[in-house]
């Protein structure tokens, strides 16, 4: 069994992807391996397009307020990744001001803790994240990737 195939099956076994997604990824993998195989080369051979296309590309934030106000934001995940990479380059003095301002608004997040080597892992985890908030007053907030 190839490493890619076992990785997909592990993701399925771990509940990180649905059976439909696993089927789609395995199908893409089969299509790729049926193409001409080189005896040696990179870990991902052939066209990675189907695999890449299967990944979510956007982060969605949807807010429906009970008073009728609706906010719907779609952000490219590539922008999130670039933004996170940028935080590691911001001078410490500016970062302290950002952190202070964020904590004053109720968000105690220390952006200086984001290390460049962790960002890809963070973005990969973000793709699987889903947040659903249903407030008592009828407000709903949904954050997900698709």
Q: Which residues of the shown chain bind other proteins in the complex (CB under 8 A)? A: 57-58, 67-76, 78-79, 81-83, 85-86, 89-92
Three-state secondary-structure class, residue 24: helix
Beta carbon of residue 112, minimum distance to other proteins (angstroms, whole number) = 12
| 5 or 85: CB nearest other proteins | 85
3-state secondary structure of 101: helix
Q: How many CB atoms lie within 10 A of CB 118?
A: 13
CB closer to other proteins, 73 vs 125: 73
Residues contacting residue 129 through CB under 8 Å, at least 6 positions apart: 143, 144, 145
Closer of 22 and 65 to other proteins (Cβ): 65
> At its nearest, how many Å lie between other proteins and the CB of residue 119?
12
C-alpha radius of gyration, the chain, whole number: 20
State how far the Cα of 107 lies from the Cα of 24, in Å rounded to an integer.
38
Nearest to other proteins of 28, 59 (CB atom)? 59
Minimal distance, residue 126 CB to other proteins, in Å: 15
């Amino acid at each position: 069994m190839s490493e890619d195939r076992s990785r997909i099956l592990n993701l399925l076994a771990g509940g990180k992807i649905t059976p439909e997604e696993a089927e789609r990824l395995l199908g893409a993998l089969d299509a790729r391996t049926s193409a001409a195989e080189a005896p040696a080369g990179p870990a991902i051979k052939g066209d990675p397009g189907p695999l890449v296309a299967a990944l979510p590309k956007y982060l969605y934030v949807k807010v429906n307020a009970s008073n009728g106000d609706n906010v719907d934001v779609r952000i490219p995940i590539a922008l999130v990744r670039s933004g996170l990479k940028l935080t590691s380059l911001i001078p410490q003095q500016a970062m302290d001001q950002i952190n202070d301002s964020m904590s004053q608004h109720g968000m105690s997040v220390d952006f200086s803790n984001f290390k460049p080597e962790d960002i890809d892992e963070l973005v990969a985890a973000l793709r699987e994240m889903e947040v659903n908030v249903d407030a008592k007053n009828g407000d709903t907030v949904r954050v997900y990737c698709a």
